[in-house]
């Protein structure tokens, strides 16, 4: 039997009713057998400041670092703000990447995103991929989960109603699980 896959997840939006938070919750419901997804809360992280870092990592940053280090895989769920990553997600990446033995290095990762526009989170995911390359994460390339016009794909209770999108999420999570196992040599 394969070793379970512990996945640490980031939601780039801090808004409680965000489509990306709904997307993360849907991913948790659709997770394949043998995989878990747990969110790393990023809203309490101070803005990255090298002076704070040199004084020692704040508790919230150290918790995020420890959770990434303990994870087998990573999932990023991000909106797109001004054609790029939202500041809270970039800030979390900046804090975590400063840890000794940089915990992102060598981790399999997947990304997805939702927005009200037609383009979903295409540009944000591209910029996230650039950071992943620099930090030596190993992203899953396909399928891409880009949910445009998200306001039409979730019900009032926050459930994803688009069956095709659910299929892409299932496929992405299965690809992340397979990629994680391959990188672990299983």
Domain spans, the chain: 5-184
141-175 residue pLDDT tens: 999 999 999 999 999 999 999 999 999 999 999 99
Among 31, 103, 29, 110, smallest CA distance to 76 is for: 110
Cα separation, 73 vs 163, in Å, equals 25
At the topology level, CATH places domain 5-184 in Rossmann fold (3.40.50)
In the chain, which ranges are continuous DSSP H helix?
19-30, 50-54, 59-70, 87-97, 122-134, 163-184
Rounded to 10 degrees, what is the CA torsion of 16, 133, 74, 11?
0
* Single pTM value for the model: 0.96
Whether residue 1 is predicted with pLDDT greater than 70 in this model: the reply is: no
**Stretch 126-145: mean pLDDT, rounded?**
96
65-118 residue pLDDT tens: 999 999 999 999 999 999 999 999 999 999 999 999 999 999 999 999 999 988
28-40 residue pLDDT tens: 999 999 999 999 9
Residue 120 is predicted with a pLDDT of 83
Task: Give ∠ CA 156-161-163 in degrees, rounded to 5.
Answer: 175
- DSSP class per residue in 110-131: EEEEE-SSTTTTHHHHHHHHHH
């Amino acid at each position: 039997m394969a070793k379970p896959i512990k996945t640490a997840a980031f939601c780039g939006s801090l808004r409680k009713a965000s489509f990306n938070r709904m997307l993360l919750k849907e991913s948790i419901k659709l997770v394949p057998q043998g995989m878990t997804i747990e969110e790393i809360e990023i809203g309490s992280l101070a803005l990255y400041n090298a002076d704070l870092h040199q004084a020692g990592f704040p508790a919230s940053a150290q918790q995020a670092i420890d959770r990434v280090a303990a994870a087998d895989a990573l999932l990023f769920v991000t909106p797109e703000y001004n054609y790029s990553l939202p500041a809270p997600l970039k800030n979390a990446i900046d804090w975590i990447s400063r840890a000794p033995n940089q915990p992102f290095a060598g981790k399999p990762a997947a990304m997805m995103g939702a927005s009200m526009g037609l383009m979903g989170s295409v540009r944000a995911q591209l910029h996230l991929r650039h950071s992943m390359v620099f930090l030596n994460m190993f992203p899953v390339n396909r399928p891409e989960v880009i949910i445009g016009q998200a306001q039409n794909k979730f019900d009032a209770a926050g459930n994803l109603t688009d069956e095709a999108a659910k299929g892409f999420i299932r496929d992405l999570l299965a690809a992340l699980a397979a990629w994680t196992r391959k990188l672990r040599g299983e």
